Each structure stands twice: as structure tokens, then as C-alpha cells.
């Protein structure tokens, strides 16, 4: 079972690493992120969302999916910790106590 | 080692009047600051995640200065879990509502069809709603993680 988990982890890691090969080079001026998107956010964020803080506008609006699943991930982490650790006290019979 | 444990229990080390009084005075201000960080995320650094952690830390502080049952009396476990669920539901609910009233998923400007504030204002207000949801969820999860981990799941004594 442990070997299976290790294999699954390794395979996932290799797939993720393989995915990074398609990323644009670090600081590439031709990449979409540094070309049109960043300038659009910086120039239009206040106009389009009326939020003076661009970070909040990107986090809550343009990148809403990301924030939503961040919240869901935290929620899942909490649920898992509760379900693994939380123990309900058994009602002990009086004579044993 | 055993002698040391008995002596600390006898002297009640950690139960300090100064710390308890200071924490009791501090907790309302910490919670107010947490709310401020959540609602002021539009104008300054902050937002749901940071404000939620500050709100949660006020209960962690109570559990550390007094004991876990004190913090569980002030924020019951049931209410805590319900707040956490409500927080995630607010976020996903607002997102789904946008799609239901005819926009895209998470496109807050579609909510203009319910209350006409203007699409741009709705994008601002939608971010606020979502941040409140994130804050509630993060606060509840912070508290519940601390309770579970510090008492090893027993939910009685704590640290």
C-alpha cells in the first residue's frame, strides 16, 4: 500500500514537472502574462471593478476561481483534521470511573 | 521528570492573572481589527484570509491564556462548524447565483439583475461578499484546527 502511494506521488510529480516544460521562460516579455494581461489589470482594474486595491480586484474578481478553490482546500483540510483527530467521548459506566 | 510535572501542576504554572487580564482586554480589539482587515480589503492590504486568521487567533489566544473549555464556551463547536460551512457556502453560493441569474459563474456584474446597483458597483460588492465568506471559513477552520491539534482530539484540556 505504501509502495502504491509512493508510485502515485511520483507519477503525479512527474506529470506536473512535465507540464512546467510548456511554461514561458522566466521574465519572458512575449508571454501572455507580461504582455496584455498585466497591463490590462493595471490600467483597467479600478475602472472595471471600482476597487482601488488592484490585488483585491485580481484576487476576488479576475482570479475568482483560484480564490474559491483555495477556500475549498482550506475547508477540506479542516474537515480532514476533524474527521481524523476528533474523538467523541464514550459514556463511561459509573463503576469504572 | 514526574516530580517536575507534579510541581508545575501544583503551582498552576501558565495560569497567570496578568496574562489572563491582558488577554481579556485584548480580545475585543483583536476581533475588531480582524473585522476591519476583512472589510477594508478593498482599500488596503488585507482581505478574507488575513482577517479570518486574525479573528481565529483571538480564540486561540483565549484557549492559551485560560483553557480550551473557556474558548469553547465562548464559541461553541457547533456554531464554529456552522460558521465555517456558511463561509464556504457564501462564496460558492454567490458564484452560483451569478450563473443562475444569467451571467457567467463568478461574474458578479450579473447580480445587477436582482438589485440594480450597476454592474461595476456589483463587481466591487461581489468581491466584498466573497471576502466575508472567506473570512468566516478561515476563522472557523483556524479555531477548529487549533482545538483538535492541541487537545489531540479529546476537546477537553488542551495545552
Residue B59, C-alpha cell as written in the block: 480564540
Is residue B16 a part of any domain in this protein?
Answer: no
- In this complex, do A74 and B141 lie within 8 Å of one another by their Cβ atoms? yes
- Cell triple for residue B130? 466573497
Asked whether the beta carbons of B98 and B91 are under 8 A apart, the reply is no
Do the Cβ atoms of A71 and B87 come within 8 Å?
Answer: yes
Enumerate helices (H) and strands (E) in chain B, giving the number of each: 6, 0
Asked if residue B15 has pLDDT above 80, the reply is no
**Residue A12: partners with Cβ closer than 8 Å, 6 or more residues away:** none
Q: What is the pLDDT of residues A44-97, one digit of tens each?
A: 888 888 888 899 999 888 888 999 999 999 999 999 998 888 887 666 665 544
B109–chain A Cβ distance below 8 A for any pair: no
Chain A and chain B share a number of CB contacts under 8 A equal to 96
Asked if the structure places residue B157 within a domain, the reply is: no
| Average pLDDT of the residues of chain B | 87
Contact criterion met (CB < 8 Å) for B42 and A51 = yes
Query: Per the domain annotation, does B4 fall within a domain?
Result: no
Structural domain containing residue B104? 23-150
Query: How many domains, in total, are found in chain B?
Result: 1
Residues 6+ apart with CB under 8 A from A21: none
What does the pLDDT average to over B57-72? Answer: 87
Q: Which pLDDT score is estimated for B11? A: 61
The domain ranges of chain A are: 53-85
Measure in Å the smallest separation between the Cα of A21 and chain B Cα atoms.
30
**Residue range B50-72: mean pLDDT, rounded:** 89
| Calpha distance B2→A39 (Å, rounded) | 65
Inform me whether the pLDDT recorded for A10 exceeds 90: yes
pTM for the full predicted model: 0.81
Contact flag B153-A56 (C-beta cutoff 8 Å): no
pLDDT of residue B3: 66
List chain B residues with CB under 8 Å of A61: 106, 108, 123, 126-127
pLDDT grade for A5, boundaries at 50, 70 and 90: very high
For B143, other C-beta atoms within 10 Å of its C-beta total: 28
Amino acid at each position: 500500500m505504501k509502495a502504491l502511494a509512493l508510485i502515485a506521488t511520483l507519477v503525479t510529480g512527474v506529470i506536473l514537472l512535465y507540464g512546467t516544460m510548456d511554461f514561458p521562460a522566466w521574465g519572458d516579455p512575449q508571454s501572455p502574462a507580461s504582455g496584455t494581461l498585466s497591463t490590462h489589470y493595471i490600467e483597467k482594474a479600478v475602472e472595471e471593478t471600482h476597487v482601488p486595491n488592484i490585488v483585491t480586484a485580481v484576487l476576488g474578481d479576475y482570479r475568482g476561481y483560484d480564490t474559491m478553490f483555495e477556500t475549498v482546500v482550506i475547508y477540506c483540510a479542516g474537515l480532514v483534521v476533524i474527521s481524523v483527530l476528533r474523538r467523541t467521548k464514550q459514556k463511561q459506566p459509573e463503576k469504572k470511573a | 521528570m514526574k516530580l517536575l510535572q507534579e510541581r508545575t501542576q501544583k503551582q498552576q504554572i501558565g495560569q497567570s492573572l496578568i496574562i489572563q487580564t491582558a488577554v481579556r482586554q485584548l480580545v475585543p480589539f483583536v476581533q475588531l481589527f480582524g473585522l476591519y482587515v476583512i472589510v477594508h480589503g478593498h482599500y488596503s492590504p488585507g482581505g478574507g484570509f488575513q482577517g479570518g486568521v486574525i479573528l481565529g487567533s483571538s480564540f486561540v489566544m483565549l484557549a492559551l491564556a485560560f483553557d480550551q473549555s473557556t474558548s469553547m464556551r465562548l464559541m461553541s463547536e457547533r456554531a464554529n462548524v456552522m460558521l465555517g460551512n456558511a463561509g464556504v457556502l457564501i462564496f460558492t453560493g454567490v458564484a452560483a447565483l451569478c450563473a443562475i441569474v444569467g451571467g457567467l459563474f463568478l461574474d458578479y456584474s450579473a447580480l445587477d439583475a436582482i438589485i440594480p446597483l450597476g454592474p461595476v458597483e456589483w463587481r466591487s460588492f461581489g468581491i466584498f461578499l466573497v471576502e466575508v465568506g472567506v473570512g468566516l471559513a478561515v476563522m472557523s477552520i483556524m479555531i477548529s484546527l487549533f482545538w483538535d491539534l492541541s487537545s489531540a482530539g479529546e476537546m477537553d484540556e488542551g495545552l
